[in-house]
Amino acid sequence: MARVAAREDIVAKVKRRLADEPGADPARLSALIREEAVVLSDVDVLEIMRALRDETTGAGPLEPLLASPLVSDICVNGPGAVFVDRGGGLERTEITFAADADVRRLAARLAAGCGRRLDDAQPFCDGHLTRDDGTLVRFHAVIAPVAQAGTCISLRVLRRTAATLSQLHNSGAMDAERLAALAGVVRRRRAFVVIGGTGAGKTTLLSAMLAEVDPAERIVVIEDTLELAPAHPHVVNLTSRAANAEGAGRIELSDLLRQALRMRPDRIVVGEIRGAEVVDLLSALNTGHDGGAGTLHANSIEEVPARLEALAALGGLDRASLRSQLAAALDVIVVMKRHRDGARRLDQLGVVEPDPLRVRVVWDARRGELDGYREAFGS
């Protein structure tokens, strides 16, 4: 503990001196550290330089967690509770902050890195950070007193995935017959959505299915954050943009959908359908753009119509109009589920039937093939 306290004291002193020398190079930084500590080994100097980097440009005490390839989520609930998800659910770590002021400073610095502000006038913030290795991190923070436990930070590591259906099959996410069924959905240009809860593997499966698209086709992908990276030679990625500090420059997914229609797309894909853009997507799928796809946060196939109705209402589309468009636009619903052991597996397949509109499960991981499966997914 004494060694840690001494190191933190040196870091604080060097940070004060760096305020007068903001452009100090590594050699000068090393010299400043040795001046403050007098006697230090090379290993200690490197540790302090790393701590300074984390304090000024990285994620501070959270940096080792973000650097781990196993970590998908980090949750800070005030200064004394830091949780991490390494694939098996959230678990508490030994990392703590000295005081809430330290958590708040880190949150404010991360917010600034997203081009946002976080203060008493704006006590919560949402944004995205790009790390030096190219990894994207979704950032959210709420400061006290809005957050009763103290400043709360949520970080989700968004790793772009290029897995194929064969790789998912080999990892146990699906059996060989379901692999063939999903490949057939893509080959026959059927419109589909992948649904599931948070962290269920929706984006991973969508990316794998897009890799099955004919190489001669052009895929236009629309997302809030660049996550989809299918192994396909002709993918155009468009990403939305939040408003700047002055409240200007916002670009919505619905704006990008309208642009995508003018880009000669063979397939239009929405990374996550989460708002009024569902109206534009259904319109696009009903005007000759077959084989479109996206993901939707829903827990079951039966929830899909109601979920889409709620989102369509944000775009001014009433229930009857949404249902008529949905029946003509969407063919297949694919469900991914995250299990208690952290494994992500294909859970259900469903179809959309018109006149009257209904969705029906035709394959279930526990019950197997149900009525209508062969008609919907047979080769």
pTM for the whole thing?
0.75
Residues with Cβ within 8 Å of residue 19, at least 6 apart in sequence: none
Q: Which two tokens stand for residue 39?
A: 């006697």
According to the model, what pLDDT value does residue 329 have? 86
Choose between 212 and 322: higher pLDDT.
212
Does the pLDDT at position 42 exceed 90? no
Mean pLDDT computed over 262-270? 91
Q: Which two tokens stand for residue 136?
A: 């994207």
Mean pLDDT computed over 199-213? 91
Does the pLDDT at position 69 exceed 90? no
Does the pLDDT at position 244 exceed 80? no
Does the pLDDT at position 9 exceed 70? no
Percent of the chain with pLDDT over 90: 29
Strands (E), the chain: 73-77, 82-85, 90-92, 124-130, 136-142, 152-158, 192-196, 219-223, 235-239, 267-270, 293-297, 332-338, 344-353, 358-364, 368-369
According to the model, what pLDDT value does residue 1 have? 46
DSSP β-ladder status, 235-239 and 344-353: unpaired
Q: What sign results for the dihedral spanned by CA atoms 78, 84, 90, 92? A: negative
* Geometric angle at alpha carbon 70, from 68 and 76, rounded to 5°: 70
Query: Residue 244 and residue 315: Cα distance in Å, rounded?
Result: 24
Choose between 23 and 128: higher pLDDT.
128
Task: Give 154's pLDDT tier (boundaries 50, 70, 90).
Answer: very high
What's the mean per-residue pLDDT of the chain? 83
Does the pLDDT at position 57 exceed 80? no
- Specify the range with the lowest mean pLDDT, choosing from 42-46, 166-170, 244-248, 292-296: 42-46
Does the pLDDT at position 150 exceed 70? yes
Query: Residue 128 and residue 224: Cα distance in Å, rounded?
Result: 10
Task: Give 189's pLDDT tier (boundaries 50, 70, 90).
Answer: very high
Task: Give 155's pLDDT tier (boundaries 50, 70, 90).
Answer: very high
